[in-house]
């Protein structure tokens, strides 16, 4: 038996394990010092009540013969797809149930979607980047080209006609930079993809954090995107579902690539290698879209965005270049005094006990940048910001 030899080309990421080791060493050496983690990529607020109630009600239904549900052969129940379609309707995007694929999270679908693409495509990935985009393509042996996000382009790289690409990854608002594309910028990407028969894989996992209503929160708000883009969305950050697991992927019926309907291809992939999401979880996720669900979730998002605002304002006042924090829970800042990101990590930890994530861990262009997140408590975020401001 021969293994998939492409796995030998994967780099192990020691980013978070190295951070953990450094924090533990600091703790051991400074047992009395307080540490505040602004590197958290996970949510911290619990599920809202309408979701918990829906989960419990559905659990009860599953314990009664008359309301028990077995296999969900439709890759998502109609009641839930209806809720997703209604959510998109508010963005002036019309979706049929057939275009909505319910999954156990955006990471699974972003990871698995490459199954339906040939190995001989060239993949375009912005740098810095969510490592899953890169690793899943290394696993398949595809050629990857990077496009640099930088201070010069505001960490929002635009298409370069000199670069030939077949599959394009975009994430907006971005992880890790928090930068969000406007309509004109996304239109350039859509036109670029259409002009060369490329497919955009659009990661919209952070769309709920967009506060500026002029910014698009779905790529389908851009004309032509239904002919070139797949969109991934998640309840992880929207509704604190990181430990609940639910997301959805939109594959428009009008998306024809290489003469084939990608919708049909993805349906074939999912019906062969996936058996749907728990009925219980789908009911919980449906409640996210209810009136009560939406208002409670909005409160949680506002809580995180208040934290982001604290960091954003402090950096503004200090005159530190940064992106994010306005339409994203992530803040991506230039390390103080031209430091390299791991050096800055040590500096922050040692001078004020604040932990963040070195930008170098997300790619070459992140070498002099640093990621802070809004997912700690308000009290802790305020304390950390005071310490940062005093530096």
Q: Please answer whether residues 214 and 181 qualify as being in contact, where contact means their C-beta atoms are separated by less than 8 angstroms.
A: no
> Min. distance of Cβ 63 from its own copies in angstroms?
4
H-helix or E-strand containing 10? none
* Tokens representing residue 252 in the block: 């428009």
> Between the CA of residue 382 and those of 290, 307, 309, 321, 342, what are the distances in Å?
32, 8, 10, 20, 23
Site map (CB under 8 A) of its own copies, residues 139-158, x = contact: x-------------------
Among residues 380, 371, 235, 218, the alpha carbon closest in space to that of 300 is found at 235
- Interaction between residue 166 and its own copies (CB under 8 A): yes
Q: Please answer whether residues 387 and 34 qualify as being in contact, where contact means their C-beta atoms are separated by less than 8 angstroms.
A: no
Binders in 106-125 for its own copies, by CB under 8 A? 107-108, 111-112, 115-121
Site map (CB under 8 A) of its own copies, residues 63-92, x = contact: xxx-xxxxxx--------------------
Q: What are phi and psi of 107, to 5 degrees?
A: -60, -40
Interatomic CA distance for residues 80 and 100, integer angstroms = 10
Among residues 133, 217, 206, 118, the alpha carbon closest in space to that of 166 is found at 118
Binders in 245-264 for its own copies, by CB under 8 A? 245, 257-258, 260, 262
DSSP, collapsed to helix, strand or coil, labels residue 180 as coil
> Min. distance of Cβ 22 from its own copies in angstroms?
18
Question: Residue from 208, 229, 233, 244 that binds its own copies (CB under 8 A)?
Answer: 244
- Interaction between residue 276 and its own copies (CB under 8 A): yes
Question: Residue from 98, 150, 153, 242 that binds its own copies (CB under 8 A)?
Answer: 242
Question: Residue from 29, 92, 272, 317 that binds its own copies (CB under 8 A)?
Answer: 272
Binders in 360-389 for its own copies, by CB under 8 A? none
Q: What are phi and psi of 249, to 5 degrees?
A: -125, 135
- Interaction between residue 199 and its own copies (CB under 8 A): yes
The window from 20-28, 148-156, 265-273, 306-314 that contacts its own copies (CB under 8 A) reads: 265-273
> Min. distance of Cβ 322 from its own copies in angstroms?
25
Nearer to its own copies, 46 or 78 (CB): 46
> Min. distance of Cβ 202 from its own copies in angstroms?
15
Interatomic CA distance for residues 117 and 166, integer angstroms = 10
- Please give the full DSSP string across 208-241, using - where no structure is assigned: GG---TTS-SSGGGSTTGGGTEEEEEESTTTSS-
Interatomic CA distance for residues 261 and 144, integer angstroms = 24
Interatomic CA distance for residues 317 and 84, integer angstroms = 40
> Min. distance of Cβ 313 from its own copies in angstroms?
26
- Interaction between residue 300 and its own copies (CB under 8 A): no
- Interaction between residue 319 and its own copies (CB under 8 A): no
Q: Which residue has the tokens 């912005």?
A: 126
**Residue 102 Cα to chain centre, angstroms:** 16
Nearer to its own copies, 179 or 229 (CB): 229
Question: Residue from 179, 198, 301, 384 that binds its own copies (CB under 8 A)?
Answer: 198
Q: Which residue has the tokens 């503004």?
A: 316
Question: Residue from 49, 89, 306, 318 that binds its own copies (CB under 8 A)?
Answer: 49
Total residues binding its own copies (CB under 8 A): 77
Which is it for strands 357-358 and 369-373: parallel, antiparallel or unpaired? antiparallel
> Min. distance of Cβ 16 from its own copies in angstroms?
9
The count of C-alpha atoms lying within 13 angstroms of the C-alpha of 357, restricted to the half-sphere facing its C-beta, is 24
> Min. distance of Cβ 147 from its own copies in angstroms?
17
Question: Residue from 39, 178, 240, 363 that binds its own copies (CB under 8 A)?
Answer: 240
The window from 181-189, 237-245, 332-340, 351-359 that contacts its own copies (CB under 8 A) reads: 237-245
Burial status of residue 220 (CB atoms within 10 A of its CB: 0-12, 13-18, 19 or more): buried
Query: DSSP class of residue 39?
Result: -
Question: Residue from 190, 281, 287, 297 that binds its own copies (CB under 8 A)?
Answer: 281
Interatomic CA distance for residues 64 and 79, integer angstroms = 20
> Min. distance of Cβ 10 from its own copies in angstroms?
7
The window from 18-26, 239-247, 362-370, 380-388 that contacts its own copies (CB under 8 A) reads: 239-247
Nearer to its own copies, 329 or 348 (CB): 329
């Amino acid at each position: 038996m021969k293994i998939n030899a492409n796995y030998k080309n994967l780099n192990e990421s020691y980013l978070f394990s190295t951070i953990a080791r450094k924090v533990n060493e600091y703790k051991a050496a400074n047992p009395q010092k307080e540490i505040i983690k602004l590197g958290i990529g996970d949510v911290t607020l619990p599920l809202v009540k309408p979701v918990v109630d829906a989960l419990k009600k559905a659990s009860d239904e599953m314990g009664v013969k008359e309301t028990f549900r077995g296999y969900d052969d439709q890759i998502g129940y109609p009641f839930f797809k209806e809720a997703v379609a209604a959510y998109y309707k508010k963005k002036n995007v019309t979706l049929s149930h057939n275009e909505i694929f319910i999954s156990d999270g955006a990471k699974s679908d972003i990871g698995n979607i490459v199954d339906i693409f040939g190995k001989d495509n060239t993949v375009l990935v912005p740098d810095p980047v969510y490592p899953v985009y890169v690793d899943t393509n290394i696993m398949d042996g595809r050629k990857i080209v990077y496009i640099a996000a930088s201070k010069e382009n505001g960490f929002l790289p635009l298409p370069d006609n000199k670069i030939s690409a077949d599959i394009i990854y975009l994430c907006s608002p971005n992880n890790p930079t928090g930068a969000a594309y406007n309509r004109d910028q996304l239109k350039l990407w859509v036109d670029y993809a259409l002009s060369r028969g490329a497919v955009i894989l659009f990661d919209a996992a952070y769309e709920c954090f967009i506060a500026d209503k002029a910014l698009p929160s779905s790529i389908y708000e851009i004309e032509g995107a239904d002919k070139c883009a797949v969109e991934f969305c998640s309840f992880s950050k929207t509704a604190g579902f990181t430990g609940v697991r639910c997301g959805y992927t939109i594959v428009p019926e009008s998306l024809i690539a290489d003469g084939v309907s990608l919708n049909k291809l993805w349906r074939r992939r999912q019906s062969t290698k996936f058996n749907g999401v728990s009925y219980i979880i789908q009911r919980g996720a449906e409640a996210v879209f209810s009136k009560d669900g939406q208002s409670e979730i909005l409160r949680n998002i506002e809580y995180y965005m208040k934290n982001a605002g604290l960091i954003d304002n402090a950096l503004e006042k200090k005159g530190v270049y940064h992106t994010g924090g306005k339409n994203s829970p992530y803040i991506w800042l230039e390390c103080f005094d031209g430091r390299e990101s791991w050096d800055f990590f040590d500096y922050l930890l040692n001078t004020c006990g604040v932990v963040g994530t070195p930008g170098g861990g997300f790619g070459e262009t992140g070498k002099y940048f640093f990621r802070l997140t809004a997912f700690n408590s308000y009290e802790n975020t305020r304390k950390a910001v005071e310490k940062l401001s005093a530096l």
